[in-house]
Amino acid sequence: MDFFPADLAPDVIIGLGAVDDAAVHRIGDGRVSVVSLDFFPPVVDDATDYGAIAAANSMSDVWAMGADPVLALCIALFPKDMPTGVASKILLGAAERVRAAGAVIAGGHTMDSQEPVFGLAVIGLGDEDGLMLKGGLKVGQKLVLSKPLGSGLLTTVAKRGDLSAEDLSDAIGIMKRLNGPAARVGRQYGVRGATDITGFGLAGHALEMAAGAGVGLRLGLDEVPLMGSVMRWAEQGAFAGGAHRNRKAYEGRITFASSVSEALQMLLFDPQTSGGLLMGVDADRADALVAQLRETDPETAIVGDVVQGSGMEVG
């Protein structure tokens, strides 16, 4: 159903009809506004970390589109009995990440909820000819991933009380890390196809890119970066329900080599929180892009190729 036909809003160049990370509105002189929102319940116990991760995750969609956040509004659903100090820590954690991004929180909205839910609505600005889209991949490019996988699995294990403090701290640090530097470097290297890896896992979001561009993908699991103790827990099958739902939704479009273990297959479907950027870059620029990205995202790696065809081969 077409609620908003294109002729009613010709300056909305990416909206409901596109499977992309944010809406894009043309504002003139080659400039665009990029708008997104995201929110979720706590993924970690510490309130400040929760606010920071939620803010980093919310701004990520704007960076994934090739723009930079300038303004954010808080979306806060908190229980009536939540201590004021806890709510303040969530907001302070978010504010620190927004300031680090060079943006500002300018307001928001709160309401009562049985469980805490927090996130941001984010407005970014960019150049129309510098947009990075899910459908921007081209055959012959290399796929580059800027953060390691495993946040969904590790936070699930942490909720059970089984994850070491060191491993949890490392995962939190990666989730709090902003995707702004990776996006800006990507633009410098001519990246026009990108997305951020979040709830659909690497497999789901990569397949969205492949479908949008009309291409196929080859992924080398030996090259995919993983967080600390991820393989230990993957081999124990400690995945949350979201990973299994993702697998059911996407595995029909993936061909796995016989050598790929069940644990590694499942890691492709692990829902990520504030994951990295997956970008397509021309092959002759890939090594230089990775080297520069590793200055801020040390786990960055070339993880695959863009090929003719459809779907994804994993080996």
Whether residue 133 is predicted with pLDDT greater than 90 in this model: the reply is: yes
pLDDT tops 60 at residue 148: yes
Residue type, 275: G
DSSP sequence for 123-169: EEEEEGGG--BGGG--TTPEEEE-S-B-HHHHHHHHHTT-S-HHHHH
Domain 133-314 class, CATH top level: alpha beta
pLDDT in tens, 226-250: 999 999 999 999 999 999 999 999 9
pLDDT grade, residue 2 (50/70/90)?
Answer: low
pLDDT of 305 above 60: yes
pLDDT, mean of residues 34-52 = 97
Q: Which tens digit of pLDDT belongs to each residue from 86-122?
A: 999 999 999 999 999 999 999 999 999 999 999 999 9
What pLDDT shows up at residue 154?
97
Which residue, among 218, 245, 233, has the nearest Cα to 307 in the 3D structure? Answer: 218
Start-to-end CA distance of the chain, whole Å, equals 39
Question: Computed over its alpha carbons, how large is the radius of gyration of the chain?
Answer: 19
- Domain locations along the chain: 6-129, 133-314
**Predicted confidence (pLDDT) at residue 224 exceeds the cutoff of 60:** yes
Q: Which CATH class is domain 6-129?
A: alpha beta
Q: Which strands sit side by side in the sheet containing 12-14, from one edge to the other?
A: 12-14, 23-28, 31-40, 117-127, 68-78, 104-112
